[in-house]
Amino acid sequence: MPEATPLTPGITSGRLSAETLSEHFDDLHEPYAPHEAAVAADRCYFCHDAPCITACPTDIDIPLFIRQIQTGTPEAAAKTILTQNILGGMCARVCPTETLCEEACVREAAEGKPVEIGRLQRYATDTLMEKGVHPFTRARSTGKSVAVVGAGPAGLACAHRLAMHGHDVVLFDARAKAGGLNEFGIAAYKSTDNFAAREVDWLLGIGGITLHLDQRLGDGLSLSELRDEYDAVFLGIGLAGVNALRASGEDKDGVSDAVSFIAELRQASDLTKLPVGRDIVVIGGGMTAVDAAVQSKLLGAQNVTIAYRRGLDQMGASKFEQDLAASKGVRIIANAQPLAVHGNGAVSEVEFEYTISDGGELTGTGETFRLKADQVFKAIGQTLDGAPDALKLDGRKIAVDEKGRTSEAKVWAGGDCASGGDDLTVTAVAEGRDAAEDIHATLTGGK
């Protein structure tokens, strides 16, 4: 029998069978077979001035790797990808290609159907990784050592590039498992078969990287000590804090942050034992909101609603993600901001006010409504947590220049914790890679 969480009787486990859950959380996109990849590659125009390259935050030579697939050399295609994006396997799964390279594809403009660049990238990188091959070797040791704090996309990309250049890298992470958001923050149907962990193990195959887990900056790990002990420090600590809802009653039982829910789901060994509500409300409009909502529905929730305070066209989640949510039975209500969480001890309803945008300013209309809820997930953004006081901030993030340098000597930063680019896996990889190149140039005098 399903077990109920105290004070929240609507939140139970075992709503669906193990077989049904296995089907629900299967690959979102089936991987290409070799013949399918060849046919898909044939659609590429191999543009000389390819707009897809410009649209890729890691500047992968997309026409080249697709040509290599077309000519039957997917391993060479993988090296082309991985030279620019060492986490190309995960990015092929989670990158919003529909708003990046595929949106820029000439086929998209001409026919409304782009070359499926993401699936082709996955085909190439999976082919190489399945052979257990690491396409890069370390340079001769430089005798320099670098501390990388945060084993997420930015930290992993930085650590790999530094190791490849011959530096000794010590990689620290606050969690008991490496991978960052790739491991803990991505919907399970986007990264199946323990891929995130397998990719980390494969990446570490370059050698020269020592991994230390359960090491949190500010809790036994001091930036000043790291600067003294190592020749350089890179911070890729992500955004560990969660924004407050700022609505009365958000401390009630049944209200939690979506990131924690996704992390718990990703680490669950048996989804039949993961509790989920009957009536779920997700507050927010980004990818995390969609991931939490869709997975709630896949776990067996009956009614799942995403409520976003602005219009659909301003949602952080792409049109593809919005359509995916709708296809799974998730309702999206736009222009609705939370006012209060109601219930006696545990949440029973969430009260919203309709909004309008007037000259860019969001204002309430005074018209309110309530949604029944036994579980509420907050997906309203994350905040920097644990950054050393010595570092200059740009708003709520660590201030960095175009090379990733912080206000402190010998310290670089990148990924979600740093000012600048979009909060995307692929952007974090680019920032970690580029910071590593600047660290290398600094430590070797530009050689």
Cβ–Cβ < 8 Å for 357, 213: no
pLDDT of residue 360: 80
- Quote the CA–CA distance of 22 and 311 in Å, as a whole number: 34
Between CA 404 and CA 435 the distance in angstroms is 5
287 and 224 part of one domain: no
Q: Give the end of a domain, one of 73, 107, 130.
A: 130
Nearest to 221 by CA among 261, 260, 174: 174
Same domain, 246 and 235: no
Residues 274 and 359 in one domain: yes
Q: Are residues 165 and 246 in the same domain?
A: no
Kindly give the parts of the chain with pLDDT less than 50: 1-7
Closest to 309 measured CA to CA, from 288, 280, 337: 337
- Asked, for residue 318, whether it belongs to a domain, the answer is yes
CATH number at residue 176: 3.50.50.60
Question: Can you say whether the dihedral through the CA atoms of 76, 80, 85, 89 is positive or negative?
Answer: negative
Contact residues for 401 (Cβ-Cβ < 8 A; gap 6+): none
- Give the domain range for residue 424: 145-240+384-443
Residues 360 and 421 in one domain: no
Is residue 32 assigned to a domain? no
For residue 56, what pLDDT is reported? 97
Q: What amino acid occupies position 216?
A: R
pLDDT at residue number 370: 98
The CATH number given to whatever domain includes residue 115 is 1.10.1060.10
DSSP 8-state class, residue 364:
E
Give the strand pairing for 411-413 and 232-235.
parallel
Task: Give residues with Cβ within 8 angstroms of 76, minimum separation 6.
Answer: 68
| Residues 310, 121: Cα–Cα separation, whole Å | 34
pLDDT for the residue numbered 386: 80
The Cα–Cα gap between 392 and 266 comes to: 34
Residues 262 and 349 placed together within one structural domain of the fold: yes
Instruction: Let me know if residue 137 belongs to a domain.
Output: no
> Is the domain of 258 the same as that of 327?
yes
**287, 277: one domain:** yes
DSSP summary character for residue 219: B
Helices (H) and strands (E) in the chain, counts: 17, 21
Residue 394 shares a structural domain with residue 372: no
What is the structure's pLDDT at 344? 93
- Return the sign of the alpha-carbon dihedral for residues 261, 265, 269, 273: positive
Shared domain check, 400 and 371: no
Residue 35 lies in a domain: no
Q: Is 64 inside any structural domain?
A: yes
Q: Which two tokens stand for residue 36?
A: 């399918």
Distance of CA 303 to the CA centre of its chain: 26
Residue 62: both structure tokens together: 């997309």
What pLDDT does residue 320 have?
93
Kindly report the number of other CB atoms within 10 A of residue 214's CB atom: 12
Distance spanning both ends of the chain, measured CA to CA: 66
What b/e sequence results for 393-407 when a residue is b if at least 16 CB atoms lie within 10 Å of its CB, and e otherwise? eeeebbbbeeebbbe
Q: Which of 69, 99, 130 is the last residue of a domain?
A: 130
pTM of the model: 0.95
Report if residue 246 sits inside a domain: yes
Q: What pLDDT is stored for residue 1 in this prediction?
A: 37
Is 136 a domain residue? no
- Examine the domain organization and report whether 235 and 248 are in the same domain: no
State the residue for tokens 């949602």.
315
Per-residue pLDDT tens over the stretch 175-199: 999 999 999 999 999 999 999 999 9
Output b/e per residue, 366-384; b: 16+ Cβ within 10 A: eeeeebebbbbbbbbbbeb
Nearest CA-CA partner of 150 in 58, 67, 218, 78: 218
Give the pLDDT of residue 447. Answer: 60
| Domain end (from 73, 95, 130) | 130
pLDDT score of 422: 79
What are the pLDDT digits (tens) for 323-341? 999 999 999 999 999 999 9
Task: Let me know whether 152 and 218 are in one domain.
Answer: yes
- Nearest Cα residue to 254 out of 3, 10, 1: 10
In a domain, 326, yes or no: yes
Give the span between the Cα atoms of 182 and 156, in whole angstroms.
Answer: 11
Q: Domains in the chain: how many in total?
A: 3
Give the three-state DSSP class for 206: helix
Structure tokens at 261: 């829910």
pLDDT of residue 241: 86
